[in-house]
Amino acid sequence: FVTAIDHVGIAVPDLDAAIEFHRAHFGLEVAHEEVNEEQGVREAMLRAPGTAGTETQIQLLAPLRDDSAIGKFLAKSGPGLQQLAYRVSDVDAASAALREQGLRLLYEAAKRGTSNSRVNFIHPKDAGGVLVELVEPAKDNAAH
Ligand code: V0V
């Protein structure tokens, strides 16, 4: 049911500084930026130039609050890789299938992710120490 590697998420203390770092050193450009109050993040999606629509993106995640998922991650582990996101065509079906296989999903029902996607997460302890996100892109936005 995984159709692509959607993005890899990096926890950062300062979003603007991290965007500049990835631009200056790797030439990545900002494809999208938003604030997700529910998740407690200010985030940016980056891509390599000329890859729009097909690319795996880098998601920079900065905390809005210390008690958010990213705030806690930074306090415990410092900046670094925080999540791996698989694209799926139906997040409800994917979550149900994985639950059936005994994996813990973090949310009972999918929540809103980047660009009106629908997302859920597999507990990192059930996925080899990796926080795996499942992303169902919004229907009007094939890439994300
Ligand atoms: C925690 N652990 C991790 C981890 N976070 N392991 C790998 N990767 C991570 N990111 C480990 C932690 O070290 C503990 O291991 C264990 O899991 C349980 O951690 P905890 O301290 O009990 O729990 P918390 O409070 O740190 O919470 C961890 C979870 C939390 C994963 C439950 O971060 C969460 O709810 N994440 C889902 C939402 C999220 O990440 N939102 C921000 C991105 P030991 O020490 O016991 O061995 S928002 C987003 O991605 C959007 C909007 C989008 O993509 O569209």
pLDDT digits (tens, 9 = 90+) for 91-139: 999 999 999 999 999 999 999 999 999 999 999 999 999 999 999 999 8
Task: Read off the DSSP letter of residue 68.
Answer: S
Give distance in angstroms: CA of 49 to centre of ligand 1: 30
Condensed to tens digits (0 to 9), the pLDDT of residues 48-95 reads 999 888 899 999 999 999 999 999 999 999 999 999 999 999 999 999
Say if CB 122 and CB 135 are below 8 A apart: no
Going across the sheet that includes 29-36, the strands are: 29-36, 41-47, 57-63, 2-11, 80-88, 132-136, 118-122, 111-112
**Ligand 1 in reach of 64 Cβ (< 6 A):** no
38-to-65, 94, 113 alpha-carbon distances in Å: 11, 22, 9
Looking at residue 141, what is its pLDDT?
56
Per-domain residue ranges of the chain: 2-136
Spell out the CATH class of 2-136. alpha beta
Ligand 1 midpoint to CA 108 (Å): 16
106 ligand 1 Cβ < 6 A: yes
Give burial (CB, 10 Å; 0-12/13-18/19+) of 66.
exposed
* Ligand 1 contact, 57 CB (< 6 A): no
Q: What is the residue with the minimal CA distance to atom 11 of ligand 1?
A: 124
pLDDT at 132: 98
User: In which element (H, E) is residue 22 found?
Assistant: helix 15-26
Give the ipTM: 0.97
In ligand 1, the atom with minimum distance to the C-alpha of 9 is 50
**131 phi and psi, to 5 degrees?**
-75, 110
DSSP assignment of 79-113: SEEEEEEEEES-HHHHHHHHHHTTPPBS-SS-EE-
Instruction: For residues 85 and 135, give the distance between their C-alpha atoms in angstroms, rounded to a whole number.
Output: 7
